[in-house]
Structure 1
Amino acid sequence: MKKKLEIIKENEKNGNDGIEQTTYKKNSLLEAFSDFVDTGVKQDDVPPVSFSQLYRFSTGLDKIVLIIGVLGCMGSGVCQPLNMLLFGNLAGDMATFGYAINQGNASQAVFDQFLDNVINFAIYNTIVGAVMFVSSYLSIALFNYSALRQGYKIRTLFFEKVLNQDIGWYDVNQTGDIASRMSEDLNKFEDGIGEKVAHFTHMMFTFLGCVILALVKGWELALICLTSLPVTMVCIGIIAVVTSKVAKKELDAYAMAGAIAEEVLSTIRTVIAFGGQKKELARYEEQLIFARKNNIRRSTLSGMGFGLLWFFIYASYALAFWYGVRLVLSGNGTYDVATMVTVFFSVMQGSMNFGMASPYIEAFGISRGSAAKLFYVIDNEPVINQSKSRGKELNHVKGKITFKNVKFNYPSRSNVKILQGVNLEVEPGQTVAFVGSSGCGKSTCIQMIQRFYDPSEGEILLDGENLKNINLTSLRNNFGVVGQEPVLFGTTIGENIKYGNKSATQEDIERAARKANAHGFIKKLPQGYDTLVGERGAQLSGGQKQRIAIARALVREPSVLLLDEATSALDTNSEAKVQAALDAASKSCTTIVVAHRLSTIRNANKIFVFSNGVVVEEGNHSELMEKKGHYYNLVMTQVSGPELEDLQSSKRNGVAFRQQSSVMSSEPDEDDDKIIYDDNEFEMKPSTSSLWSIIQFNAPEWWQIVIGCLASTFVGFAMPIFAILFGDILGVLSNTDEDYVRSQTNTYSLYFVVTGIVTGVSTFLQISMFSIAGEKLVERLRKELFGAMMRQEIGWFDDKKNGVGNLCARLSSEASSVQGATGQRIGTILQSIATIGLAIGLSMYYQWKLGLVALTFSPIILLAMFFHARMNHVENLEEGSSKEAAAKIAVEAVSNIRTVASLSAEKLFYQLYVSELLPYHKKSLRNIHIRALVMALARSIMFFAFACCMYYGGTLVYNEGLQYETVLKVSQALIMGTVSIANALAFTPNFQKGFKAAAQIFELLNRQPAVRDAQNASADTWDTGNINYSKIEFRYPTRPDIKVLKGLDLSIMNGKTVALVGPSGCGKSTIIQLLERFYDPANGTVNVDGTDIRTMQLRTLRSQLGIVSQEPNLFDRTIGENIAYGDNDRIVTTDEIIEAAKKANIHSFIASLPLGYDTRLGEKGTQLSGGQKQRVAIARALIRNPKVLLLDEATSALDNESEKIVQKALDDAREGRTCISIAHRLTTIKDADLICVINNGVVVEQGSHSQLMKMRGLYEKLYTMQVGGS
């Protein structure tokens, strides 16, 4: 039974807060998904599309190709009935020949006629085989050609449509779910429109041809033989309906698992820091269990259906022989042996093809379910559509922006009013500022100017034109945007800047970088502007990312500059320079600034003060200060007496702000804190896997596998046994004693019934047992793979090959590929081995010469299989690499859709996506011919083999007196064995993919993380908590040639607050990451109470640390669950959550929401403002009551009103515990017990604030510059 994720509410009020007492347990992603806002028809409610709809995107060429392919299927489908007609006539001739021998009147003429008949059969059957080869090649090649074209078209179209959805759509759809659709659903869709359709169509034409032939030759016997058909069709119909519905549930569960994985892997530092690996693994496993149960249910029902199917087929054989022999013996002349055999084998072959076509119906059902979800997105027309060319093109933008009574609610929180009638006007060329408390609507206005959303009421005008009437791309191309949390893409620094202006030259890029104060540190990198920045810019410090984002905005030379906390992540030195650049850039355009640090907007032409979604004040700084209203209060809370005193003290010492700025400007940028990886690092080493290694991993299900193997063996034995029974029956028919014939017919009919019972039961066990074993294996592999990913050190995630997109693609595709080499595929292989093995044994027993001749065709098939497998292996490697690279681009674009949209980079990412898929697509179109030739050979070789065997067998009868029924037994048995190999050949692509995927999975499962628990690692907590960094040298594993820390020594005493300051990229954040053991130093030790932290258990070490990072990572769960995430070793009560929220100054805001602490935050916390997210992150850190508090710019995103309150809360939280604080805003750390100035990887100054000011060194320069700017 699926674990229910619940929130137990105890309806116990807490004082005056009005918040219900809640105990938070594991949250259900399925329940979470259903909580999304209903935007009409949910994806989950979309029924599977019709089969014809699978081809809705086919072009005229595709239709022509498909028509020719269907004609090829028709041609190959006619071959089997022709073979049955020829074989029936030959069987009649053999019975006549045997009858003559039994009567003792077989003359030489009879022998000669027999040999002529055999030769004619061999010639005609060879011709039919040639037709089968040509038509099969055409049908398979053309269907695969069409499928590849349509699959490529839909894969690219889906991504294009996803990119062009409006931002409101993304608010209610998880990017992880979208990524899963692009991987798993697209693969399953393609699986249902290609080669399998050709096989199915061939089998259906074969079935129809055989049935028509049977009815024409002998309708009475044919109808008796077809009695199983209605039951067969009912079974298949039920299977199709059930599998389609259950498959959709399975896909939904896997999509949810993909969403969990994407969320976790994209925030892996947060997950590891708070010890959330077990919780996330449990959430992920829950979805896997749900998918596994649905899949087993589907397979069990399929097994029952197919078991009944084969029982009725064999039962109909029994009835047909019993009734057919009586018709032959009736002596009315209508039925003879030739007619009976033709009718019987036609119905048998038709029924077998009908039965073998059934599994394809399951694949089509899955494909229809997948297509429904894909087409839902493709057909969804966004309200705000960037891809449409409608609207006015902007030629010259003056930059006048007007809000007229604008009201707005976010689509995901329609009951919460964000803007409640905003009226404002920005004149061309003005610099205006939006200020106000966190969450008052400032950033929302910035988003609405970019038309991420449209107002629910009112209108927004640009130069007097409603934004809705302006072409969206043209509109956004006139804006330069720098957000609070800068987003960079996983390409080079130069390309990241060029995203701002696709036509920018290298000179333009460098000019913009200089303006943003980024050129210096970029040129110091070994590859300069060609340096790769890592996923989301993970290899850069916050300040460096911010500067590149600013350069990206400036290179556009925008008409309107939108700055949402554009300098919040910069140190004082960089901020002064960048602010000067922004000031210069703003002179030539309209500039709108959202700022919490009011010192940066004092010179604005106009300042708009927001409160509760409306503009409550407007004017310049002086005017607003004179009013002594909202703005005045904000300013007063930011600048207090001590800072002013320090500033004046500095000026008395002759250190003026402008002089310091000049001095600092001449100083070179330091080495970057985070290091960029080399493109050649971390190449994945090739590895191999075997079927045996997969089976070993499946060991817990050994008894299901054993039963499945035995059942597969019995199913495989059925074909050769049938051949023996058939040969014996034909031998019986040549007997002159009619009573003997009737008696033996009854006996052999009973044998057929028994064979049907055994085959039916064995088929059910084969499918159900291997399904259980296969699904549990896949569940285990996915779980273990996800767990192995979360166990890896952070340095592993820094490698570009382990980006979120690649890892999510691996989770969804590799385990599924392994399933292609396990489960029912193993059953099919064993079934084929049993068939060919028994066939060889029987042929050697009955006539070894004829057996050897028949066996000569098996090596041809095996050689074809080997060649085809080798080709598939290479093709699958290329396909995996191509799709992983494309998936990485897709996930990166979708995860950062706001940045992509603001840059109008949708077409660019689409082109990048296409560029990764197109080369493999073109090569695949060439390779389909080889696969078609091999499959055509596998189908047609039966005809050539039968012709050869019957010819050689006839000569043995003619020359050596071999009984003709022995020829039929040996030939039929071996040819059926050859056919079984051909059927197994159809699964070789699955096996090649499975083995490759298994190799990659096992490689990761066996990988030992570089940062892990030592043997006998201590689980003891700290006694006092004195921290000491001794002679630390460190290089990031992705750039071992650059030393970040160069012998750093630092001592932090228990209970003290130590602040780390210094230029952006000097190594401050690295110090915190070493304490968290995200990395280990190359030399030196980090000790706590004299003990090397490498001897401590990682979980114990991290449980005593509470971290608040510069960019808070929140999860798509409730606010309460996000806060409770701070301590994952226990159940956190609501009282504790509320208390932590109060300390972080976020409780009042949460309580004002309709759902309070049960409010979902949206993906990456998008439903909150930056300041609100930061305060939730602070509450999350406080709830675990850490011994050491790590603050990496913890208050950088807070507005002035909240900052001092939160700062006081942090000051209170520091009491009794050690605190390490990184700050660019130096006024927040002046009361620290110890301030350490880091520069160039070492501590260059340390002391209290007053001591460092007296030194008049680097700290004094930084502080004076910052306070002077205030």
Structure 2
Amino acid sequence: MQLACERQVYKIRLAYYRAVLHQDIGWFDLNASGELTSRLNDDVDKIHDGIGDKLTILVQWVTTFFAGFVIGFIRGWELTLVLIAITPFMVMGAAVFSKVAASFTSQEQKLYAGAGAIAEEVLSSVRTVVAFGGEYKEVDRYKVKLADASKLGAKKGASVGTSLALVFFFIFFSYALAFWFGGYLISIERIFAGDMLAVFFAVLIGAFSLGQAGPNAEGLIVAAGAAGEVFDTIDREEEWDKDIPDVSLMRVMKANAPEWWLIGLGLIGSLFLGAMNPLFAVFFGEIIEVFARPASEVLDGLHLWAGLFLALGFAAAAGTFLKSFCFTVAGENLTARLREWSFRAILRQEIGWFDNERNSSGILATRLAQDASRVQGATGSRLGTLIETFVGMVASIIIAFVYSWMLTLVLIGFVPVFIISGILEVKALTGHAGDNKKALEQAGKIAVDTIENMRTVASLGVEIKFYTAYNIEIKGPYKKNLVNSFVYGLTYGFSQSVIYLGFILTFGFGAYQVTRPPGHIAHESFSDLLTVLMAVIF
């Protein structure tokens, strides 16, 4: 899929640039050059992000979701039927999420394209702007567009956060309902505990898969929103006879300082989410103990734990909303602030600085559109994800040691394999990022220079010359990405197989522990082993 993605994005870049070159001159009076180049850079990058590996993983998770419910019907149709009654609420939350994310993304891209048009207009006429002392006026004009985009981004964060919170709440609500109703069926001897667990795991993995599909669906939805304007232009194609300084993490954090309270709330949400998996593992182990009781005692023992799962649902919903909303607003404000500062810094340079080929209006406009967006989540969402992962990992390992230190040691010995697979996967994805960035900057320069001087280009009939030059610049990273896609496929396949190797270790060594007599150093109960499994593997 990544291979197909690289080929499609390469063709989209060429098709969009070709379509722009083939428009009649009057069309450029209605479409600012900066807006067009912003779509060629920013929007096509979003399309690339949405239709590559994220699309494949989305299909994988959705398939797992449906397969889980099919298995559930086979092993326990009554319990599965009850759980399906909850599914429409999860689907509704996912649908709302999809709709609002696509709508807001499309509107946001238009505003950022407008800001890009202003920047391109000013940079292409920088000598005139400086001569008349209009730098501050132009910065203010640019800032207004960025502010509008930031406000829209905040609305997107609130809407997406609410819809995702609903999805996660109903997932945990379905867990609580599954345990309570499953216990009821066991108590009236309509289902065995083993079948109930089979149904629960099938539905659990299915519901978990729906949650995992969310971020990948977001990438696809954002890509769809970005693709709208790009393909509108392609479909209109007529017949054709200072360099922005590198920003350190500390400077980025300082730039995001006004949003410290938002980042703080987002981190609290991340703490909530990080604690979900360890708590789930403990509650699940206790429920397994309840299922081991005589059938007549099962239902009474489940009331407390089903209620605690419902409480986890509220906590997960609150954490999801705080993380999504607060980090989105903080990130949008950071992006707007960095773009404004970079634009202001560029206009403060002496005129001779713009004579350097590296500081052409095309390259500067491209970097303004791309660089600030790339550090959008550097202080907020990435820090939140780090804390969420750290809290979950530490708490899970502690719980696993408490319940079965021997099995935990065995699994920890397998952790380096997980780490190596993850490193290989990341390296495959980012190995040529620097080379690609430089090549695309040069391609962006060609596109900007062409579109800015379209009347001259058209009068001289040299569209093919510039189209060929643009093609040459983007073909280099395209060929590298084709090779990289194959490597990524291998590493992703390896990382997926590692999970099942973990299952083999857990159940293999766990079977040995369960069969040891009580009092033996290696003996553990089945419920303790499942607690370790849920804590470490899931």
Q: Mark yes or no: TM-score above 0.5.
A: yes
Residue of structure 1 equivalent to 2:5: 147
Secondary structure at the counterpart of residue 189 of structure 2: coil
Q: Is the 8 A contact 1:214 1:347 kept in 2?
A: yes
Q: Which has the larger radius of gyration?
A: 1
Task: Tell me, yes or no, if structure 1 residue 379 matches structure 2 residue 235.
Answer: yes
Stretches (4+) displaced over 6 A:
682-685
In the TM superposition, residue 339 of structure 1 has moved relative to its aligned partner by 1.0
**Residue 144 and residue 821 in structure 1: after superposition, are their counterparts in 2 closer, same or farther (change >3 A)?**
farther
Deviations 1:1125-1160 (A, max 9, x none): xxxxxxxxxxxxxxxxxxxxxxxxxxxxxxxxxxxx
In the TM superposition, residue 783 of structure 1 has moved relative to its aligned partner by 1.1
| Structure-2 separation of matches of 1:823 and 1:212 | 39
Matches within 5 A, 1:808-819: 808-819=365-376
Deviations 1:1060-1083 (A, max 9, x none): xxxxxxxxxxxxxxxxxxxxxxxx
Task: Tell me, yes or no, if structure 1 residue 696 matches structure 2 residue 258.
Answer: no
| Structure-2 separation of matches of 1:838 and 1:763 | 19
**Residue 941 and residue 693 in structure 1: after superposition, are their counterparts in 2 closer, same or farther (change >3 A)?**
farther
In the TM superposition, residue 888 of structure 1 has moved relative to its aligned partner by 0.3
Of residues 45, 52, 60 in structure 2, which corresponds to 1:187?
A: 45
Secondary structure at the counterpart of residue 133 of structure 2: coil
Of residues 282, 288, 307 in structure 2, which corresponds to 1:724?
A: 282
In the TM superposition, residue 873 of structure 1 has moved relative to its aligned partner by 4.2
Q: Is the 8 A contact 2:43 2:230 kept in 1?
A: yes
Q: Is the 8 A contact 1:225 1:344 kept in 2?
A: no
| Structure-2 separation of matches of 1:336 and 1:377 | 61
Q: Is the 8 A contact 1:854 1:971 kept in 2?
A: no
Q: Is the 8 A contact 1:804 1:891 kept in 2?
A: yes
Deviations 1:558-579 (A, max 9, x none): xxxxxxxxxxxxxxxxxxxxxx
In the TM superposition, residue 236 of structure 1 has moved relative to its aligned partner by 1.4
Of residues 428, 442, 445 in structure 2, which corresponds to 1:885?
A: 442
Residue of structure 2 equivalent to 1:219: 77
Secondary structure at the counterpart of residue 192 of structure 1: helix
Q: Is the 8 A contact 1:226 1:347 kept in 2?
A: no
Matches within 5 A, 1:317-332: 317-332=175-190
Residue of structure 2 equivalent to 1:748: 305
Task: Tell me, yes or no, if structure 1 residue 172 matches structure 2 residue 30.
Answer: yes
Of residues 715, 718, 721 in structure 1, which corresponds to 2:273?
A: 715
In the TM superposition, residue 149 of structure 1 has moved relative to its aligned partner by 0.4
Unaligned regions of 5+ residues in structure 1, if any?
1-142, 389-681, 977-1270
Deviations 1:1139-1188 (A, max 9, x none): xxxxxxxxxxxxxxxxxxxxxxxxxxxxxxxxxxxxxxxxxxxxxxxxxx
Residue of structure 1 equivalent to 2:193: 337
Of residues 148, 159, 170 in structure 2, which corresponds to 1:312?
A: 170
| Structure-1 separation of matches of 2:426 and 2:206 | 30
The one-letter amino acid of 2:302's match is T
Residue of structure 1 equivalent to 2:530: 968
Task: Tell me, yes or no, if structure 1 residue 777 matches structure 2 residue 339.
Answer: no
Deviations 1:370-423 (A, max 9, x none): 2221111111144xx5x22xxxxxxxxxxxxxxxxxxxxxxxxxxxxxxxxxxx
Q: Is the 8 A contact 2:330 2:380 kept in 1?
A: yes
**Residue 822 and residue 219 in structure 1: after superposition, are their counterparts in 2 closer, same or farther (change >3 A)?**
farther
In the TM superposition, residue 844 of structure 1 has moved relative to its aligned partner by 2.0
Residue of structure 2 equivalent to 1:862: 419
| Structure-2 separation of matches of 1:750 and 1:833 | 27
The one-letter amino acid of 1:211's match is F
The one-letter amino acid of 1:716's match is G
Q: Is the 8 A contact 1:176 1:260 kept in 2?
A: yes
| Structure-2 separation of matches of 1:248 and 1:181 | 11
Matches within 5 A, 1:47-196: 143-196=1-54
Q: Is the 8 A contact 1:775 1:823 kept in 2?
A: no
Deviations 1:1033-1072 (A, max 9, x none): xxxxxxxxxxxxxxxxxxxxxxxxxxxxxxxxxxxxxxxx
- Percent identical residues: 35
The one-letter amino acid of 2:218's match is E
Matches within 5 A, 1:918-997: 918-959=475-516, 960-976=522-538
Task: Tell me, yes or no, if structure 1 residue 263 matches structure 2 residue 126.
Answer: no
Of residues 370, 380, 385 in structure 1, which corresponds to 2:226?
A: 370
Deviations 1:1194-1224 (A, max 9, x none): xxxxxxxxxxxxxxxxxxxxxxxxxxxxxxx
Residue of structure 2 equivalent to 1:243: 101
**Residue 694 and residue 861 in structure 1: after superposition, are their counterparts in 2 closer, same or farther (change >3 A)?**
farther
Q: Is the 8 A contact 2:268 2:322 kept in 1?
A: no
**Residue 684 and residue 240 in structure 1: after superposition, are their counterparts in 2 closer, same or farther (change >3 A)?**
closer
In the TM superposition, residue 788 of structure 1 has moved relative to its aligned partner by 1.2
Q: Is the 8 A contact 2:102 2:222 kept in 1?
A: yes
| Structure-2 separation of matches of 1:694 and 1:944 | 40
Q: Is the 8 A contact 1:227 1:316 kept in 2?
A: no
| Structure-1 separation of matches of 2:26 and 2:325 | 44
Task: Tell me, yes or no, if structure 1 residue 910 matches structure 2 residue 467.
Answer: yes
Residue of structure 2 equivalent to 1:1138: none
**Residue 248 and residue 971 in structure 1: after superposition, are their counterparts in 2 closer, same or farther (change >3 A)?**
same
In the TM superposition, residue 878 of structure 1 has moved relative to its aligned partner by 1.0
The one-letter amino acid of 1:945's match is G
In the TM superposition, residue 747 of structure 1 has moved relative to its aligned partner by 0.8
CA RMSD of aligned residues (A): 1.9
Q: Is the 8 A contact 2:2 2:53 kept in 1?
A: yes
Q: Is the 8 A contact 2:32 2:117 kept in 1?
A: yes
The one-letter amino acid of 1:944's match is L
Task: Tell me, yes or no, if structure 1 residue 901 matches structure 2 residue 453.
Answer: no
The one-letter amino acid of 2:326's match is M
Of residues 197, 200, 205 in structure 2, which corresponds to 1:349?
A: 205
In the TM superposition, residue 269 of structure 1 has moved relative to its aligned partner by 1.6
| Structure-1 separation of matches of 2:176 and 2:470 | 58
Matches within 5 A, 1:138-537: 143-332=1-190, 335-382=191-238, 385=239, 387-388=240-241
The one-letter amino acid of 2:147's match is I
In the TM superposition, residue 843 of structure 1 has moved relative to its aligned partner by 1.4
In the TM superposition, residue 950 of structure 1 has moved relative to its aligned partner by 2.1
Q: Is the 8 A contact 1:708 1:766 kept in 2?
A: yes
Residue of structure 2 equivalent to 1:806: 363
Q: Comparing both structures, which one devotes a greater share of its residues to strand? A: 1
In the TM superposition, residue 310 of structure 1 has moved relative to its aligned partner by 1.0
**Residue 941 and residue 295 in structure 1: after superposition, are their counterparts in 2 closer, same or farther (change >3 A)?**
same
TM-score (normalizing by structure 2): 0.95
| Structure-2 separation of matches of 1:927 and 1:783 | 35
Q: Is the 8 A contact 2:16 2:234 kept in 1?
A: yes
**Residue 683 and residue 749 in structure 1: after superposition, are their counterparts in 2 closer, same or farther (change >3 A)?**
closer
In the TM superposition, residue 928 of structure 1 has moved relative to its aligned partner by 1.1
| Structure-1 separation of matches of 2:71 and 2:372 | 45
Residue of structure 2 equivalent to 1:669: none
Q: Is the 8 A contact 1:949 1:971 kept in 2?
A: yes
Q: What is the aligned length? A: 533
Q: Is the 8 A contact 2:86 2:174 kept in 1?
A: yes
Q: Is the 8 A contact 2:13 2:44 kept in 1?
A: yes
The one-letter amino acid of 2:109's match is L
Residue of structure 1 equivalent to 2:519: none
Deviations 1:665-717 (A, max 9, x none): xxxxxxxxxxxxxxxxx9999x6844x55333312111111111121111121
| Structure-2 separation of matches of 1:180 and 1:211 | 44
The one-letter amino acid of 1:952's match is F
